[in-house]
Amino acid sequence: MTAQDNPVRGIAIMCLSMFFFVAVDTLARELTQRLAVSQILWVRFVIFAAIVVAIAGPRTVPAKLKSRKPWLQFVRSMVLVAEIAVFVLSFRYLPVADVHAVAAAVPLIVTALAVPVLGERVGWRRWIAVGVGFFAVLAIIRPGFLDLDWYHLLPVAGALIWAVYQVLIRLTAHYDGQDTTLLWTVLAGLAFTTLIGWIDWVWPSPETWLLLIAAGILGTVAHYTLILALNAAPASLLQPFVYTTFPWAVLLGLIFFGEFPDAVTIAGAAVLIVVGLYVMRREAKAGGG
């Protein structure tokens, strides 16, 4: 922690950022009842890219796009598009809070992937935590031969893809700066979603256009406030507050859709959050196993 750090400010902005992310997901749940996922993705990336390019300065974009590993940047960007698509699709079938309950397993998945992909060392305590988290996810989705539908696995797939994306972020950080990574994210994502955005296109009503634009703006604000939070306080301090997405999801799901997770989902999410915090604490220790 440096003299310029402001932990209280960083934590407050981090919690606000998580609210914006959940707000986007709440809008996505409504939009998926009206439009195709490809259409939602395209409009979001159009708005996101326009704002990022405007802030970066259009004249600086060609220079900032120069990457030491362009293929890695492209793959990472496509993984992000896939992650967003899977989560958006999951909101068509499942409550926002239920999806975020499963998504709480992401830090545990990242821990497991860090061993084969990044060559990081993970001790037995963290492997036990990963195992406990796996059973917590099973409790949330409650797999059974009678009541398990394919869409119940969407949040699990989304969490796996999101974890892969975070591992790829760690890899790209070895080669390129944040500006290069951000521009590759929005421009490669925009290029791909432009190719698929017209599939099953339905012309939105004025109200739906407002929801689409709001989702695009809120998504950009969510990413911007996340950067502000990380500039105000160390990432290790802020990581536990990522879990505020679950209470935000419960609150917004209740307000806008009258949805409230059942006791098993809440218990499973609580277990995932506890073991996730434990893993973060172990990783924060130098050489912790």
- Choice between 141 and 258, residue whose per-residue pLDDT is larger: 258
What is the rounded end-to-end Cα distance, in angstroms, of the chain? 23
Q: pLDDT per residue over 223-247, tens digit each?
A: 888 878 877 877 667 777 888 888 9
Where residue 26 falls among pLDDT bands split at 50, 70, 90? very high
Determine the average pLDDT of the residues in 46-51.
91
Does 2 reside within a domain? no
pLDDT of residue 172: 85
Identity at 253, one-letter amino acid code: G
Alpha helices in 233-262 (DSSP H): 235-238, 245-257
Q: pLDDT per residue over 61-70, tens digit each?
A: 999 999 999 9
Does 65 reside within a domain? yes
Above 50 in pLDDT, residue 128?
yes
Does 254 reside within a domain? yes
Q: pLDDT per residue over 252-270, tens digit each?
A: 999 999 988 888 888 888 8
Determine the average pLDDT of the residues in 152-161.
88
Does 191 reside within a domain? yes
Determine the average pLDDT of the residues in 149-165.
86
**What is this structure's pTM?**
0.82
pLDDT of residue 148: 67
Which helix (H) or strand (E) segment holds residue 2: the answer is none
Domain that holds residue 274: 7-284
Round to whole Å and give the CA distance between 27 and 239. 25
Does 1 reside within a domain? no
Where residue 34 falls among pLDDT bands split at 50, 70, 90? very high
* Listed ranges 48-52, 145-149, 239-243; the one with the highest mean pLDDT: 48-52
How many structural domains comprise the chain?
1
Determine the average pLDDT of the residues in 21-30.
94
Does 289 reside within a domain? no
Kindly give, in sequence order, each residue whose CB lies less than 8 Å from that of residue 91, ignoring residues fewer than 6 positions away: 25, 28, 29, 32, 99
Does 247 reside within a domain? yes
Taking all residues of the chain, what is their mean pLDDT, rounded to a whole number?
A: 83
